[in-house]
């Protein structure tokens, strides 16, 4: 399994950068009262280590594990490793995850950020993680959302995914308006199945449940889907409000996705709009001084301006 950054430098991909910062805000809320020394970040560093840089600096996570599939890249990733706290493992995540010490840290923040299309091994990774990860851990999976290659032959899809394939699958589930939902559904099923098996051996007060928080789609070149959430105790009394998560309008707990669609603005326009923010949607989008900017771009900017990277000026 390849890591996203091996093909794409996400330092310069706007939608990906927005996604990363949105996730960071939520994780910061979830880990606010934890001893961060007992938390670990697991992901795909690639030569750029963009996520690792951000989450070390902003979340202060100093226990970090990066998977790199290609032995030939070892020297390059070791050279580009920005902090000594990053431990690099060479090999496929599917082969490496079973050998992690899952008791070493009280919580893990895991982002399986794949660049390729949906693959059976992603579900093997998911199963390994949810068989072992501790309550309070955060899990995300990102992959190319296109399933159109299966639209003409459902039998191939069933062969590729076996018992993971939904029993009611049909051609419409592979279209551009449904593929992301199909992927979410498949991961929910795998997580639910894994936790059901795990819970069968646990006392009532230790039973676990997955609470969805993220369901993004965006297009930075390839169309991508990101799905994830929190592993929690079933009887924790959880609510978004109690976790201070109800303030984020991009949180998604159901089938409704959040589409990350960055605005197309010039450098001068961005500076002008910043001088009027924050503001309510109606007041901001109807100000006469910025009426020359298309309203749809104003709407996009108002929603995302806190998460947009500084290199947005390349659009000017």
Strand partners, 40: 108
Are 298 and 243 part of one and the same domain? Answer: no
Residue 278 CB neighbours (<10 A): 9
Are 251 and 289 part of one and the same domain? Answer: no
Q: How far, CA to CA in Å, does 298 sit from each of 27, 197, 211, 247, 301?
A: 28, 48, 32, 21, 5
- Which residue segment(s) compose the domain that 134 sits in? 4-260
Are 98 and 143 part of one and the same domain? Answer: yes
Check if the beta carbon of residue 59 is closer than 8 Å to that of residue 20: no
What backbone torsions phi and psi does residue 111 show, to the nearest 5 degrees?
A: -125, 105
With 60 as the cut, is the pLDDT of residue 2 above it? no
Dist CA 130 CA 135 (whole Å) = 10
Q: In 3D, which of 111, 101, 114, 53 has the Cα closest to residue 80? A: 53
Residue with tokens 């100093």: 62
Query: Given this model, what pLDDT does residue 4 score?
Result: 45
Query: Given this model, what pLDDT does residue 314 score?
Result: 42
Are 19 and 148 part of one and the same domain? Answer: yes
Reported for 156-164, long-range contacts at CB under 8 A and 24+ positions apart, including other chains, are 160/120, 161/120, 161/123, 161/186, 162/120, 164/120, 164/123, 164/189, 164/190
Q: How far, CA to CA in Å, does 230 sit from each of 27, 203, 268?
A: 9, 20, 40
Q: Which residues does 181 contact at the CB level (< 8 Å), separation at least 6? A: 173, 255, 257
> What tokens were used for 107?
């919580």
With 60 as the cut, is the pLDDT of residue 3 above it? no
The string of pLDDT tens digits covering residues 206-226 is 999 999 999 999 998 899 999
Work out the average pLDDT over 282-302: 93
The string of pLDDT tens digits covering residues 28-50 is 999 988 889 999 999 999 899 99
Q: In 3D, which of 142, 138, 141 has the Cα closest to residue 59? A: 138
Are 146 and 287 part of one and the same domain? Answer: no
Q: pTM (2 decimals)?
A: 0.92
CATH number of the domain within which 249 lies: 3.40.50.150
Are 253 and 273 part of one and the same domain? Answer: no
Are 285 and 215 part of one and the same domain? Answer: no
Q: In 3D, which of 256, 207, 210 has the Cα closest to residue 235? A: 207
Are 307 and 247 part of one and the same domain? Answer: no
Are 294 and 146 part of one and the same domain? Answer: no
Verify cis geometry, omega within 30 degrees of 0, for the bond prior to 278. yes
Are 151 and 276 part of one and the same domain? Answer: no
The string of pLDDT tens digits covering residues 54-75 is 999 999 999 999 999 889 889 9
Dist CA 97 CA 91 (whole Å) = 10
Work out the average pLDDT over 271-278: 94
With 60 as the cut, is the pLDDT of residue 292 above it? yes
Last residue of a domain, one of 216, 242, 260: 260
- Tell me how many degrees the CA angle 212-237-129 measures, rounded to the nearest 5: 40
Are 230 and 311 part of one and the same domain? Answer: no
Dist CA 126 CA 190 (whole Å) = 7
The string of pLDDT tens digits covering residues 167-204 is 999 999 999 889 999 999 999 999 999 999 999 989 99
Q: Is 136 left (phi over 0), alpha (psi -120 to 50) or beta?
A: left
The tally of domains found in the chain comes to 2
Last residue of a domain, one of 242, 260, 278: 260
Q: In 3D, which of 149, 135, 148, 122 has the Cα closest to residue 227? A: 122
Are 283 and 246 part of one and the same domain? Answer: no
SS3 267: helix
Looking at every residue in the chain, the average pLDDT score rounds to 92
């Amino acid at each position: 399994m390849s890591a996203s950054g091996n093909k794409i430098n996400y330092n310069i991909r706007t939608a990906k950068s927005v996604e990363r910062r949105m996730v960071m805000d939520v994780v910061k809320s979830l880990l606010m009262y934890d001893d961060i020394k007992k938390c670990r970040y697991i992901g795909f560093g690639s030569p750029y280590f963009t996520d690792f840089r951000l989450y070390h600096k902003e979340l202060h996570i100093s226990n970090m594990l990066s998977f790199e599939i290609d032995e030939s890249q070892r020297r390059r990733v070791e050279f580009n490793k920005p902090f000594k706290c990053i431990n690099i493992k060479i090999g496929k995540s599917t082969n490496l995850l079973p050998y992690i010490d899952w008791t070493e840290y009280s919580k893990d923040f895991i982002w399986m950020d794949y660049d390729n299309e949906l693959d059976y091994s992603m579900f093997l990774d998911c199963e390994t993680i949810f068989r072992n990860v501790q309550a309070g851990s955060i899990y995300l999976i990102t992959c190319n959302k296109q399933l159109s290659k299966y639209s003409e032959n459902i039998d191939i899809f069933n062969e590729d995914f076996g018992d993971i394939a939904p029993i009611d699958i049909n051609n419409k589930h592979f279209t551009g308006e449904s593929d992301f939902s199909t992927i979410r559904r498949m991961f929910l099923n795998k997580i639910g199945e894994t936790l059901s098996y795990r819970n069968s051996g646990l006392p009532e007060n230790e039973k676990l449940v997955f609470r969805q928080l993220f369901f993004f789609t965006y297009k930075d070149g390839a169309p991508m889907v990101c799905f994830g959430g929190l592993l929690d105790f079933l009887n924790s009394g959880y609510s978004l409000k109690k976790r201070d998560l109800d303030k984020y309008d991009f949180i998604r707990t159901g089938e409704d996705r959040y589409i990350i669609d960055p605005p197309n603005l010039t450098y001068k326009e961005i500076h002008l709009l910043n001088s009027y923010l924050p503001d309510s949607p109606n007041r901001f989008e109807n100000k006469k001084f910025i009426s020359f900017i298309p309203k749809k771009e104003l709407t996009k900017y108002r929603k995302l301006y806190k998460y947009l990277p500084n290199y947005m000026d390349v659009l000017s």
